[in-house]
Amino acid sequence: AVDAPLLGQRVVLGGLSSRPELNGQRGVARSFEGGRYAVALEGGGESVRVRPGNLSPAAAERASSGAAAAPDAVVTAAERGDEAAVLSCLDSGGRGNATCGGGAV
Protein backbone atom coordinates (compact mmCIF):
# COMPACT_ATOMS: atom_id res chain seq x y z
CA ALA A 1 0.00 0.00 0.00
CA VAL A 2 1.14 3.53 -0.73
CA ASP A 3 1.81 5.70 2.31
CA ALA A 4 -0.40 8.71 1.64
CA PRO A 5 -1.49 10.05 5.05
CA LEU A 6 -2.97 13.26 3.60
CA LEU A 7 -5.35 11.42 1.26
CA GLY A 8 -8.86 12.82 1.72
CA GLN A 9 -7.60 15.54 4.06
CA ARG A 10 -7.87 19.32 3.84
CA VAL A 11 -4.39 20.65 3.05
CA VAL A 12 -2.49 23.91 2.57
CA LEU A 13 -0.01 24.30 -0.29
CA GLY A 14 3.41 25.82 0.41
CA GLY A 15 6.96 26.08 -0.90
CA LEU A 16 5.92 25.93 -4.55
CA SER A 17 8.44 27.66 -6.80
CA SER A 18 6.92 26.91 -10.21
CA ARG A 19 3.49 28.27 -9.16
CA PRO A 20 4.16 30.59 -6.19
CA GLU A 21 0.69 32.10 -6.52
CA LEU A 22 -0.69 28.81 -5.15
CA ASN A 23 1.29 29.02 -1.88
CA GLY A 24 -1.17 29.38 1.00
CA GLN A 25 -4.06 27.98 -1.06
CA ARG A 26 -6.25 25.36 0.59
CA GLY A 27 -7.70 22.27 -0.97
CA VAL A 28 -8.47 18.58 -0.50
CA ALA A 29 -5.99 15.82 -1.36
CA ARG A 30 -8.12 13.64 -3.66
CA SER A 31 -5.66 11.01 -4.89
CA PHE A 32 -1.99 9.99 -4.76
CA GLU A 33 -0.14 8.74 -7.82
CA GLY A 34 3.42 8.93 -9.10
CA GLY A 35 4.70 10.43 -5.84
CA ARG A 36 2.29 13.39 -5.96
CA TYR A 37 -1.09 14.24 -4.53
CA ALA A 38 -3.87 15.52 -6.79
CA VAL A 39 -5.27 18.45 -4.80
CA ALA A 40 -8.66 19.98 -5.63
CA LEU A 41 -8.27 23.66 -4.76
CA GLU A 42 -11.04 25.38 -2.81
CA GLY A 43 -13.05 27.94 -4.71
CA GLY A 44 -11.54 27.61 -8.15
CA GLY A 45 -12.37 24.15 -9.37
CA GLU A 46 -8.70 23.74 -10.33
CA SER A 47 -6.84 20.55 -9.48
CA VAL A 48 -3.05 20.51 -9.14
CA ARG A 49 -0.48 17.73 -8.63
CA VAL A 50 1.80 18.45 -5.67
CA ARG A 51 4.66 16.64 -3.92
CA PRO A 52 3.94 15.65 -0.30
CA GLY A 53 6.67 18.03 0.92
CA ASN A 54 4.66 20.96 -0.44
CA LEU A 55 1.53 20.12 1.58
CA SER A 56 0.61 20.45 5.21
CA PRO A 57 -2.64 19.44 6.91
CA ALA A 58 -5.00 22.42 7.03
CA ALA A 59 -6.20 21.50 10.54
CA ALA A 60 -2.67 21.48 11.99
CA GLU A 61 -1.84 24.76 10.28
CA ARG A 62 -4.96 26.38 11.76
CA ALA A 63 -4.34 25.00 15.23
CA SER A 64 -0.81 26.36 15.35
CA SER A 65 -2.04 29.82 14.34
CA GLY A 66 -4.54 29.84 17.21
CA ALA A 67 -7.57 30.20 14.92
CA ALA A 68 -10.69 28.12 15.47
CA ALA A 69 -11.41 25.22 13.15
CA ALA A 70 -14.07 25.76 10.51
CA PRO A 71 -17.59 24.58 11.36
CA ASP A 72 -18.56 21.25 9.80
CA ALA A 73 -21.11 22.98 7.54
CA VAL A 74 -18.33 25.09 6.00
CA VAL A 75 -16.06 22.09 5.45
CA THR A 76 -18.94 20.22 3.82
CA ALA A 77 -19.75 23.23 1.62
CA ALA A 78 -16.09 23.52 0.57
CA GLU A 79 -15.86 19.82 -0.26
CA ARG A 80 -18.89 20.00 -2.54
CA GLY A 81 -17.60 23.22 -4.14
CA ASP A 82 -20.26 25.58 -2.73
CA GLU A 83 -18.10 28.68 -2.88
CA ALA A 84 -20.97 31.04 -1.95
CA ALA A 85 -21.59 29.23 1.35
CA VAL A 86 -17.90 29.22 2.25
CA LEU A 87 -17.50 32.92 1.42
CA SER A 88 -20.64 33.73 3.40
CA CYS A 89 -19.12 32.07 6.45
CA LEU A 90 -15.76 33.77 5.99
CA ASP A 91 -17.47 37.15 5.64
CA SER A 92 -19.24 36.54 8.95
CA GLY A 93 -15.94 35.81 10.66
CA GLY A 94 -16.50 32.03 10.75
CA ARG A 95 -18.19 32.11 14.12
CA GLY A 96 -20.64 29.28 13.43
CA ASN A 97 -23.62 31.63 13.51
CA ALA A 98 -26.74 31.29 11.34
CA THR A 99 -24.91 32.64 8.30
CA CYS A 100 -22.05 30.21 8.76
CA GLY A 101 -23.44 26.91 9.96
CA GLY A 102 -27.19 27.07 10.10
CA GLY A 103 -28.07 26.66 6.43
CA ALA A 104 -29.10 23.44 4.75
CA VAL A 105 -26.10 21.33 3.87
Higher pLDDT, 66 or 25: 25
| Burial status of residue 98 (CB atoms within 10 A of its CB: 0-12, 13-18, 19 or more) | exposed
Q: Which is nearest to 13 in space by CA: 54, 71, 68, 70?
A: 54
Q: What is the pLDDT of residues 13-53, one digit of tens each?
A: 999 999 999 999 999 999 999 999 999 999 877 999 999 99
Distance CA 80, CA 95 (A): 21
Higher pLDDT, 4 or 99: 4
